[in-house]
Amino acid sequence: MTVQETDQDPSHQVEAAGKAFEQEFERFARFTGDSNGLVGLTLDEAVAQERSLSDLRTRHLGKKSALAAAKKLIGRVPSDQRAAFGQRVQSVEADLVARFDAAESTLKQYIERQRTARESIDVTLPGRRPRRGHRHPITLLRERIEDIFVALGYAIEDGRELETDFYNFTALNIPDNHPARGTQDTFYTTDGFALRSQTSTVQIHAMQRRGVPVRMIAPGRVFRRDTPDPTHNPMFFQVEGLCVDRGITMAHLKGTVEEFLRRMFGPETVTRFRPSYFPFTEPSAEFDFGCFKCQGSGCRICKNSGWIELGGSGMVHPNVLRIVGVDPQEYSGFAFGLGIDRMAALMYNLDDIRLLFENDVRFLEQFE
Ligand code: DAH
């Protein structure tokens, strides 16, 4: 018998369709018995199996299946064999349907069970505790400084980080040719704004907004074009202080800074002022305090000098008062500025200030 003959004989076609089904259905046979055939099957795998089973069903029982084609040939079957042919076709078809149904329902049930298991919650499991954060060491220190000055009657000013030339330099009596104005030291935007390089800018805003007399501190970020190294960062924190009133003298400046440092580092803390120069103060002084570690006898922290340099200060320059419309004949004031990061590095004995901004939790969690 040739293949050609087989194809033309309706009975043979039915048998061939049945055989082809047996062959292809073999890989699903394991789903027709008990559910042991599913052991180890993941949910995704089961879903994929279900899909290919449904494809197979269409191929073997659909309108274009070999079985459907064979059914149409019933007219060619000699009339005395038609009843037998019809029964044979029906029984093959019924067998296929039964086996597809069995495999399909096993898979469906399994998928349903797996989905439910995946979505169920074990209420007896202990909950996952959220990790509690805390404030950054710089923030902690800033708040301590703020508390001290608020107790001394100072207001807290919020400044801007992006400034015009006027606030950053001109109003602070910084001459046009001053190196701080250069792009070497200051970050400029393309349209001429500058990231403030010091919090002294807030002195101007505060006097413009509040008028005089004024007493305020302004903590905040400042920016300078420094290459990061263990003692430099292009972004760091300062606190500015300003007090303007009638009759303010250098004695008030010294008394205020001394009181602040005593409250910060303990009542025994000593302070010293050294003559210095800043464009926006006259006279100007830098201030140091006696090392909190060795009490002045000399150690690693104070580099054996017994003193730690902390900031700059001075009497507000008459030009600065004038530019905000304050009469320097009537009013005088003092100002000071210090770096919070530097202070943090000293107090926490950090050998690299970049640690403060690397956001490494192992480092930061020590400061809770
Ligand atoms: N702005 C100065 C700096 O960044 C610090 C400073 C010095 C602030 C003298 C002042 C001051 O208010 O009077 O180095």
| Cα–Cα distance, 214 to 204 (Å, whole number) | 11
pTM attached to this predicted model: 0.68
Contact 218, 186 (CB under 8 A): no
Q: To test ligand 1's pocket by mutation, which of 168, 277, 313 has the most ligand atoms within 8 angstroms of CB? A: 313
Query: Residue 7: its pLDDT value, please?
Result: 59
Beta bridge partners of 222: 236
Distance, CA of 236 to chain centre: 20
Q: Is residue 25 helix, strand or coil?
A: helix
Query: Residue 40: its pLDDT value, please?
Result: 84
| Cα–Cα distance, 58 to 245 (Å, whole number) | 94
Query: Residue 70: its pLDDT value, please?
Result: 87
Distances from the Cα of 315 to the Cα of 257, 278, 322, 328, 334, angstroms: 13, 10, 14, 11, 4
Query: Residue 210: its pLDDT value, please?
Result: 95
Query: Residue 35: its pLDDT value, please?
Result: 62
Atom of ligand 1 nearest to the CA of 241: 12
Which tokens in the block code for residue 70? 């064979």
Q: What spacing in Å lies between the alpha carbon of 223 and ligand 1's midpoint?
A: 14
Query: Residue 192: its pLDDT value, please?
Result: 85
Residues at CB less than 6 angstroms from ligand 1? 198, 200, 240, 278, 281, 312-314, 335-337
Regions of the chain where pLDDT drops below 50: 1-6
Q: To test ligand 1's pocket by mutation, which of 181, 198, 321 has the most ligand atoms within 8 angstroms of CB? A: 198
| Cα–Cα distance, 37 to 260 (Å, whole number) | 79
